[in-house]
Amino acid sequence: MKAQIDRLGFEAWADNIIVNWMENMAYTEITNEHYDHEDCSLVIARNGDTVTAVARGYVEGKGWMTHERMIKLKGAKR
């Protein structure tokens, strides 16, 4: 994780985590989810056709950082 954050920056790394998770889920299956890993977590909440994702990760030398993204789903069924 550290090498990826160093290369991409925290926000780009967090966006990649969010997008990777969404690509692995069918849009109709996205509800409210919380995933924890040893040094990062991801919280996903869906409200109709909008998904709010919050990624939190520990960055060496900076501590815990948080990145939030709101995503409008196109063609999603409610």
The encoded tokens of residue 68 equal 């939030």
- Better-predicted residue by pLDDT, 19 or 27: 19
Q: What local confidence, expressed as pLDDT, does residue 78 receive?
A: 52
Average pLDDT rounded to a whole number, residues 21-30: 70
Q: How many CB atoms lie within 10 A of CB 34?
A: 10
Is the pTM higher than 0.85? The answer reads: no
Average pLDDT of the chain to the nearest whole number: 86
In order of their start, the domains of the chain are 2-72 (2.20.25)
Cβ contacts of 48-53, under 8 Å, gap ≥ 24: 48/78, 49/73, 49/74, 49/76, 49/78, 51/22, 53/18, 53/21, 53/22
pLDDT digits (tens, 9 = 90+) for 53-76: 999 999 989 999 999 999 998 765
What distance in Å separates the CA atoms of residue 60 and residue 16, rounded to the nearest whole number?
A: 19
